[in-house]
Amino acid sequence: MKTDGEHTNAATKSGQIAELLQERIASQIIGQGTRLQEAELAAEFSSSRTVIREALGSLEQRGLITRIPNRGAIVKKLEVDEVEEIFEVREWLEAMLTYRATLNAPDGHWQAFHGIFDFELKNRIASGDIKSYNDCLEQLRTETLIQSRNKIAVQYVNLILDRARVIKNRITLLPGRAEAGRQMHVRMLEFMNERDAEGAQAVKREIIRSARALFQKYRSLIL
């Protein structure tokens, strides 16, 4: 019989494995439709198949995989309807968190981000450095979620973004999208600096709606 400490260690290990696999799926190191074999994962992580099953169960709850009983799982492919639903939820939830972050953050809190998006990223995007733009988007999003001070909403946003990160990155690579997105973020950050929550929220919705429109136009290339 396992002790309480052994159960805790197993749960911690399965959680760590789940987080690592989730990151691989979100960044497309593990692509959609890939089969995850229990035996192979157990060997890679030097864990029992029981621990691997617990990790896969966690990923299934997050909607990232489909389980194959006693064998492993397959990474789920995002369907058009699902992506549309994700955009719809993101528009309202992220706009609300932007509104809250604008009101909650200290005066001048967004000035550094405004400088990065208004000047530094303009040159980087012009030179084809889209990765720096995506990295700054993630940093801004993380800080916005922190300043929103709504843990429940943040959990939902993170869950959705883990499923949609590949789509988001592919949209950013479309011609002209990074520069258009940069300009919209500059406008949003101007509102945030002025503590104009309604203005910031409106631009955030515009950002997500414009990304959704690009997905609808180029979905055969994106999915």
Cβ contact 59:65 at 8 Å:
yes
Regarding whether 63 and 93 lie in a shared domain, the answer is no
Could you give the number of structural domains in the chain?
Answer: 2
CATH number for 50 = 1.10.10.10
* pLDDT mean by block of 10 residues, the chain; 223 residues: 52 86 81 89 92 90 83 85 93 97 98 97 95 95 97 90 81 94 99 98 98 93 79
Residue 112 has a pLDDT of 98
Q: Are residues 13 and 91 in the same domain?
A: no
190 shares a domain with 128? yes
Number of H helices, E strands in the chain: 10, 3
Residues 70 and 85 placed together within one structural domain of the fold: no
* pLDDT score at 4: 44
Same domain, 96 and 183: yes
Residue 168 has a pLDDT of 85
131 in the same domain as 197: yes
Instruction: State the pLDDT at residue 1.
Output: 45
Residue 8 pLDDT:
53
Q: Last residue of a domain, which of 75, 98, 115?
A: 75
**What is the reported pLDDT for 206?**
98
Range of 91's domain?
A: 80-222
DSSP 73-120: EEEPPPPHHHHHHHHHHHHHHHHHHHHHHHHHSPTTTTHHHHHIIIII
The answer on 166 and 94 residing in a single domain is yes
Sheet containing strand 35-37, strands side by side: 35-37, 72-75, 65-68
